[in-house]
Amino acid sequence: MKLYKAYAKVNIFLKITGTRDNYHEIISRFMRVNSLYDELSFVLKDGDEFKIIGNFSCTTEQNTIYKAYTALLASINENCKKLLENLMKKYAVHVDKNVPAFAGLGGGSSDGATYLKMCNEVLHLGLSLNELATVGLKVGADVPFFIYGYDSANVSGIGEVVEEFKEPLLEFEVFTPSIEISTPKVYGIYRENFYAPIDGFKTQELKNTSSVNILKNMSADEANDLFKPALQEYKELKNHYRHGYYFSGSGSSFFRVIES
């Protein structure tokens, strides 16, 4: 069966703009990491139960691929539902996992998005990218970015507003310390000790600035509001930080641009 690539992303910048209920609203530049991806495919299996084959530390029910399956089931008509259920009785989702978990690289979200696109293509469901993104948002805030497949995009709201940003794709060196970071915990510390949302003028300025210029003119903690809270909660992160690197998402990955 065909192999589908689920790419990682880095956050060139990530700034908090406010709160919405229990969520934090953000403005962030997501950029695809072309050299780092999981590979997904459908493979024949025995038994009727939903099956994911791959190196995951979570249960099937906690996996974003399974969550994407249940979200898709809830969003399509009866005829399409039957097609999807029959597909997953016959096939397992095989995942060659290269993007580390708990890393701020969107690996789980990318897997979920890629699975939705696979089902749409294989079953000829005819869902538009906007419709798939709406389903994806029920799975996770980062999923819509991966549905659209842009090289680079400004992502705002709680992740549901994805606007393509046209610029050359950069090449990254990424390293991920083996520290499992809890995103809710980091956001909680941010809200408690570091809460300082940026205003609309600053938001607009960041949205219009190229990724190269952001990385040239901002330090790691200026570019990502979650870096300091993550350092406060996970002291050992400090031992892994190297000068000239930036922090992706809520961590624990660091990245820098490879000059071509």
Residues with a known catalytic role: 9, 142
107-122 vs 129-137: helix axis angle to the nearest 10? 140
As a whole number of angstroms, the distance between CA 18 and CA 89 comes to 43
Q: Say how far apart CA 100 and CA 8 lie, in whole Å.
A: 9
Paired tokens of 30: 């997501």
The two structure tokens encoding residue 61: 């029910």
At residue 249, φ and ψ (nearest 5 deg) are 60, -135
DSSP assignment letter at 170: P
Query: What is the chain's alpha carbon radius of gyration, rounded to the nearest angstrom?
Result: 18
Amino acid of residue 48: D
- The span from the first CA to the last CA of the chain, in angstroms, equals 35
**What is the total residue count of the chain?**
260
- Cα torsion 114, 120, 126, 131: sign: negative
